[in-house]
Structure 1
């Protein structure tokens, strides 16, 4: 119960009960007991870093069969292409630049870097998606990033102008080794840029399904600033992002190497005014989540009793938290449709709901679709316009249970 960043005392504020590995989809007929852990969240009373209270072994989450693909969403592809263009025009505009991406997944961002002829390297421990990145022409190294990895990369490739991570840093509990590795790898004036879900957005929207095994930390500008200072870095820029339900892109540089931009002070002030790490704020979040749980189960139960048909849409990692915390199984949601071939034909972890291909969604359409991939709602609803035209209705649970 001590903070993984500063060893301070943690204070628990939410408990989602026993949870499975969120991406460990089960073969039908497999009766073996699934791995589970207690999904509980606490805040450090010293540095205010919000984090899980139990750490899941990294090899159980990130492995050869890891199913998530960052290229699966058009919105995310555009997001990473835009970032690549920005980096190429700024931090990577000098002579012989070099960028390293931690958790490059299937190479969506680095492909644009590679196409520009810029030296790059992806560090990706999940072998299957790393192979997809390599097939796109991305140079990739299959391993977990830590200080020893960084030193090997520098010995081989020299220092990096940019170390970048998207939806990756929050996955890694051993932060001291990561920041030591970044320090060893970066040029003296280089930057470490990372983007992850923003705690303030999670609290404001009550998007509790952002809390699952892979998301160990939940960052704020304040907690990142204090984390950076402990490792000789400084928070020099922040940018709010709309993707994945609300994120912040943080830029760290070595202390004194760059002057912090005005956005840092502005976001720190906004966090202070909103009291996002105050105990009362965290208690209100927990109460809202409990209300969402009860309202969602009540709605689904009522629809079942009325004879309405319901399907899930998007067998996302975060759907594991919703299904298992709410106790929702195939009796309320008979199946979930997902575009990922590796998930199709399997059962959702813990709740054991069959996962089917997208074709099952329209054959025939259900009366209602429970949208787990709510962070892609606009993109999905545009794609599935025929569902609405047939009379179908979407069920969402962020920021509250509602039907559209």
Structure 2
């Protein structure tokens, strides 16, 4: 007999209410070689739930971390000039505000290729990156950045504290939302963070995802979709407090959260302001999330209708940006090579491979002009301005960009 017990929230243990089902999905960054056996490709069920207790939005099914963050993990944070500038500014801000004492120390969770820590290194500040993917860690080490190849959890944190001392700042960008086991992470933070230190992290914001119907922000690696309310509840559960928030424009809309030990700092007015905004929008209400799910289904219908019409008219369509989030769109919408010929991407590790699940060929960005297609589906919509500035000849030749955020339209 099948159990009807609802899955429990990974943070507080309350029941989850599913509100969005994105179907059978592959690992978003597992690009296939052309000769790979498709029957060996890993798939899971991508559905999203809302905690009836602490309000945390999370995936209903967890993908084993070793499958996602492998040695050959292909994403490099330095690949975008916008993100390079963002992380340089972030590092300088932390150096100016938090890393000002005698012999300061910063730990970064998910340091990737060291794009942020390199600025800290150049400033002569002690640092350590923690990342489970050896490949990107080696890129960071080549810059002179200290990296520990490991998953961050309580045991890792205690070892770091014993070897390097307590950290003034623990920082994470697009990493905390990847980690289902937050109980171990927060016990680790308690072990490695100095009494007056702060944990600063930035991740995709549920408020922006709902507002823009950017459902492609939901994939295997994004286990949690944070709000100020759910982060405040999470922090309180582990003896911390949300003391500051900052809205960020990167990656389609993020929030930078600053946590300190409870009572150690006075919360900034921005915290109460964002909590009030979320309450006014009903961001934790089932009706709001159900309406979002309805818009997602409509977006799929509209995108499929547009691509099918263009194919039937004999138009050429390629995609731009073999992003992790494009796996959600391609597989949820059923976009295969019959609708989109190939995807252009600047990442060498992805070129010559096939996208997860949908098996769209990935070609270098130079293929975009050999010759230009009639239409280009902008998978990397969060880098639209940067991409369009690099490809002026496409629109000059009469080409049109297609986007699906916040709605399906031809630019």
Matches within 5 A, 1:153-164: 153-164=160-171
Task: Work out whether 1:200 is the aligned partner of 2:237.
Answer: no
Task: Work out whether 1:166 is the aligned partner of 2:173.
Answer: yes
Match of 2:33 in 1: 27
Match of 2:3 in 1: none
Matches within 5 A, 1:90-169: 90-169=97-176
Aligned mates of 1:258, 1:264 — CA distance in 2: 13
Match of 1:183 in 2: 190
Q: 3-state SS of the aligned residue for 2:407?
A: coil
Cα deviation for residue 153 of structure 1 reads: 0.3
Aligned mates of 1:221, 1:311 — CA distance in 2: 38
Q: 3-state SS of the aligned residue for 1:108?
A: coil
Aligned mates of 1:31, 1:148 — CA distance in 2: 37
Aligned mates of 1:32, 1:90 — CA distance in 2: 50
Aligned mates of 1:279, 1:43 — CA distance in 2: 8
Q: 3-state SS of the aligned residue for 1:318?
A: helix
1:287 to 285, 294, 297: 294
Instruction: Find runs of 4+ consecutive structure 1 residues off by over 6 angstroms.
Output: none
Give ranges in structure 2 of 5+ residues lacking alignment: 1-6
Match of 1:86 in 2: 93
Aligned mates of 1:196, 1:139 — CA distance in 2: 23
Match of 2:225 in 1: 218
Aligned mates of 2:34, 2:250 — CA distance in 1: 33
Cα deviation for residue 345 of structure 1 reads: 0.5
Match of 1:338 in 2: 345
Match of 2:4 in 1: none
Match of 2:9 in 1: 3
Aligned mates of 2:165, 2:35 — CA distance in 1: 50
TM-score (norm 1): 0.99
Cα deviation for residue 32 of structure 1 reads: 3.7
Cα deviation for residue 398 of structure 1 reads: 0.3
Aligned mates of 1:89, 1:327 — CA distance in 2: 48
Q: 3-state SS of the aligned residue for 1:400?
A: coil
Match of 1:395 in 2: 402
Deviations 1:314-371 (A, max 9, x none): 0000000000000110000010010111111110110011000111100000000000
Match of 2:248 in 1: 241
2:63 to 56, 77, 86: 56
Deviations 1:85-119 (A, max 9, x none): 11111100111000000000000000000000000
Matches within 5 A, 1:209-358: 209-358=216-365
Deviations 1:237-258 (A, max 9, x none): 0000000000000000000100
Aligned mates of 1:299, 1:238 — CA distance in 2: 39
Match of 1:13 in 2: 19
Q: 3-state SS of the aligned residue for 2:116?
A: helix
Cα deviation for residue 129 of structure 1 reads: 0.3
Deviations 1:146-166 (A, max 9, x none): 000000000000000000000
Aligned mates of 1:121, 1:131 — CA distance in 2: 13
Aligned mates of 2:395, 2:275 — CA distance in 1: 42
TM-score (norm 2): 0.98
Aligned mates of 1:50, 1:100 — CA distance in 2: 27
Aligned length: 404
Give ranges in structure 1 of 5+ residues lacking alignment: none
Cα deviation for residue 29 of structure 1 reads: 2.5
